[in-house]
Amino acid sequence: MSVGKVYLVGAGPGDRGLITVKGREAIKKADVILYDRLVNFSLLDDAPPNCELIYCGKLPTRHFMRQNEINATLVRKAIAGHTVVRLKGGDPSVFGRVGEEAEELALHQIPFEIVPGITSGIAAPLYAGIPVTHRDYAGSFAVVTAHDKSKNGKPDIDWEGLARGVQTIAFYMGVSNLEHICENLIQFGKSPDTPVIIIRWGTWSRQQSVVGTLSTIVEKVREAKIENPAITLVGDIVSTRDKVKWFENRPLFGKQVLYVRGKAEEENRASKWMEQGADVIEFPRWIVKEKAIDSAVLDQLSVYEQILFLSKESVEAFFAQLKKSKVDIRKIQAELYCQNHSAITILEEKGLFADHVDKLSHQGSMLTVGSEEQEKIGSCLNNDLFASVYETIIDERYETIINRSLEDATLTTIVFTSSEAVKLLMEKGNQYGISPKEINQSVEFVCETAEACEALKKYGFAVGKHENDILIESL
């Protein structure tokens, strides 16, 4: 067996759109991904369905995997012939210990690539409305770790050179040493009135900023109860914030949403809400697995007068199977119909045009295409020809991921797509660390359907909003 390859990838600081094209391509071909706590877990959606996902996050007080364990796992998986992605928050070379991992791989003669990422010391200030350089304020910029290998845990750096020679300074993970940082910068030349901003969870919807000066910021941070992960930015450049602030003005900024979908086929609005500034945790995560089409169905493809697709997943799986079986789509002579508009859109992308099921005549031979769970719909349509082309299951790989996401989030909203979604959360929520009764006091429930509202009421919960009262897009 040949040795695999390792990609050491920077995932960016949080906003999932900040990963590089090369980083995303590495994820798409990975057999194994080792991912950190500060990675936006939605990036894992691009991983292949059979990719092994290994959490190796680190907290100040506990590590799920020590660095030597991470190194050993990278080596072991690569030697087994796998394509391995080490997905690290921000840029892997900026306090990301990529040098140690690369050295270990080189020692074992394992091929690897390092894919740079956007570092939080630049991105977090920009999302708070602050460029790190500006012709009127700052022509120099430095990134500094606020934790190093010093015995007392205080950063051992050239304070005088930093205070006198650099106009904008970004300290990483500096909350616990903030008082030490401020005292030394003042002692070695910075004015006590130098502006400072602390940015927690930069580029996420949960982003929180506290502004002060070197003489006031410590007390303000204590009052706001700010903890890591956070960037501390020091310099006159902080004064540009009020003019340049943009991210926090998004309509859904501050919303942290648990999005519960009862079926894989239900429309997924997560991306739309994220574009408007919300953080979205999807529960559960669904896998769509294609199934081979019966050869008898393929043999009769040119005979069917009507074909009904019950979901966009059925369209995608059906045509994927035609391709695998080397069946020319020009054999399809039928009129095409779809259960929903998203399926119609997928067909149009293939150069095929369909009508909504409402226009179906039910005359002539008809093939219904869907999943095993949808086969009863074919029976209701008095149709004996049903092609089951896929099945849906809950992706158990995401149990750990959802747990970790909820640990760091402070939910504001839970959205239910259907009555099935309500039932799923009530029956499986505790397995993922979600207790609806515990969070009901502080979280608003939103339903996309009247059926979901009724299901919630049966479980004894009050409904905050539903689609008839307010556009669901605005939560």
Q: Residue 391 burial by CB count (10 A; 0-12/13-18/19+): exposed, middle or buried?
A: middle
Sequence ranges of the domains in the chain: 5-118, 122-249, 256-285+395-474, 295-390
- Per-residue pLDDT tens over the stretch 4-61: 999 999 999 999 999 999 999 999 999 999 999 999 999 999 999 899 999 997 665 5
Architecture of domain 295-390: 3-Layer(aba) Sandwich (3.40)
For the chain, the average pLDDT equals 90
Percent of the chain exceeding pLDDT 70 equals 92
- Per-residue pLDDT tens over the stretch 128-175: 999 999 999 999 999 999 876 666 677 788 999 999 999 999 999 889
Type of residue numbered 157 = I
CB 342 within 8 A of CB 372: no
Mean pLDDT across 94-106? 95
Q: Which CATH class, in words, describes the domain spanning 5-118? A: alpha beta
Distance (Å, rounded) from C-alpha 201 to C-alpha 206?
Answer: 6
| Within this chain, domains 256-285+395-474 and 295-390 share the same CATH topology | yes
Distance (Å, rounded) from C-alpha 119 to C-alpha 423?
Answer: 41
pLDDT of residue 468: 44
Q: Which of 22, 29, 58, 245 is catalytic?
A: 58
Q: Which of 5, 15, 31, 36 is catalytic?
A: 36
Q: How many helices (H) and strands (E) does the chain have?
A: 17, 21
Q: Which of 65, 173, 423, 428 is catalytic?
A: 173
pLDDT of residue 467: 52
Angle between helices 178-187 and 217-224 (to 10 degrees): 170
Type of residue numbered 76 = R
Distance (Å, rounded) from C-alpha 216 to C-alpha 214?
Answer: 6
φ, ψ (nearest 5 deg) of residue 135: -60, -25
Mean pLDDT across 384-401? 89
State the pLDDT confidence band at 463, using cuts at 50, 70 and 90.
confident
State the pLDDT confidence band at 361, using cuts at 50, 70 and 90.
confident
Distance (Å, rounded) from C-alpha 15 to C-alpha 43?
Answer: 10
Most confident by average pLDDT, 102-111, 352-361, 366-375: 102-111
Q: Are strands 386-394 and 286-290 parallel, antiparallel or unpaired?
A: antiparallel
First to last CA, the chain: 52
Active site annotation includes 173: yes
pLDDT of residue 174: 85
Mean pLDDT across 228-232? 94
Output the furthest CA–CA distance in the chain (Å, rounded).
88
Q: Which residues contact 87 (CB under 8 A, 6 or more apart)?
A: 9, 11, 27, 33, 34, 35, 36, 39, 43
Distance (Å, rounded) from C-alpha 11 to C-alpha 393?
Answer: 28
For domain 122-249, give the fold. Answer: 3.30.950
CB 23 within 8 A of CB 101: no
Architecture of domain 256-285+395-474: 3-Layer(aba) Sandwich (3.40)
Active site annotation includes 36: yes
